[in-house]
Amino acid sequence: MFWLGALPAVALLWVRTGIEESPLYRAEAAARTRGARQAGARPGAKTGAALLGLFRRDQLRVTLASALLSVGVIGAGLFIWLPTYLEQVRHLTVEGLSAYMGIQVIGAFVGCVSAGYVLDALGRRRGLALFAVGGALSAWAYVVLPPGAAWIVFAIGFPLGFFASGIFSGLAVYLAELYPTELRGAGQGFGYNIGRGISAVGPAAIGAAAARLGLSEALALAATSYGLCLVALLFLPETRGKQLTD
């Protein structure tokens, strides 16, 4: 099963050969090349200029807030610990654990597909805020309900997967719209990967907290990481309907 996970990556190599760069990007790249030639510079000589551009005075707030948003969206590694939680705290068998995780996967699929429609209907900021609050409440309820509420916990797996994966899907939409064309790739890469890197300490932090507080309490505490999304959104603009031109 592990090695079967390589098949989508192999398919991606084939799909990638048929995907063209966007017309907007091609026009921007051509304009940069013409400008460099007119200035007597070698085209492509300004490698890294886009990354430095993220820290311009007019762009710095968006850069830092989008990185904070990514930290909140990716979370504290809560989902990595859920199988352990279900086994050690809920005392599920392998078959039971598969059912509980399966309902989360279904919710995650629906959340990923629905996120774009939700963000189009409510706006980027309100849509992401809704997913953040829903993810936090679902995760909190999932780990604090008493042992006798097994079926309720099972049912909560669907909204937990829905909100946690939906906000992750919506992040890609929002990051692309926050930056001008010449900074878009660098901005998305920086915001997402800084968030990913900082969030990498989450699983270890949950383990350390679980040793002192208990696993349920540690996971409930980790769910508060979604609050970082709400803080970040206070400093980011609404981009619904934005034309991606300069």
What lies within 8 Å, CB to CB, of 114 at 6+ separation is 162, 166
Report all structural domains of the chain as residue ranges with CATH numbers, in order of start: 50-233 (1.20.1250.20)
- Portion of the chain with pLDDT greater than 70, in percent: 94
Mean pLDDT of 220-243: 92
Q: How many CB atoms lie within 10 A of CB 62?
A: 19
Mean pLDDT of 47-58: 83
Tell me the Ramachandran region of residue 193: left when phi exceeds 0, alpha when psi lies from -120 to 50, beta otherwise.
alpha
pLDDT digits (tens, 9 = 90+) for 76-97: 778 889 899 999 888 888 888 8
Q: Could you identify the residue written with the tokens 């989008």? A: 66
pLDDT value of residue 45: 46
- Portion of the chain with pLDDT greater than 90, in percent: 48
In angstroms, the Cα distances linking 227 to 8, 71, 96, 162 are: 33, 10, 31, 17
Instruction: Reply yes or no on whether the pLDDT at 112 is more than 60.
Output: yes
Average pLDDT, the chain: 88
CA atoms within 13 A on the CB side of 119: 29
Mean pLDDT of 236-246: 84
What type of residue sits at position 53? G
Q: Could you identify the residue written with the tokens 């309490």? A: 217
pLDDT value of residue 64: 94
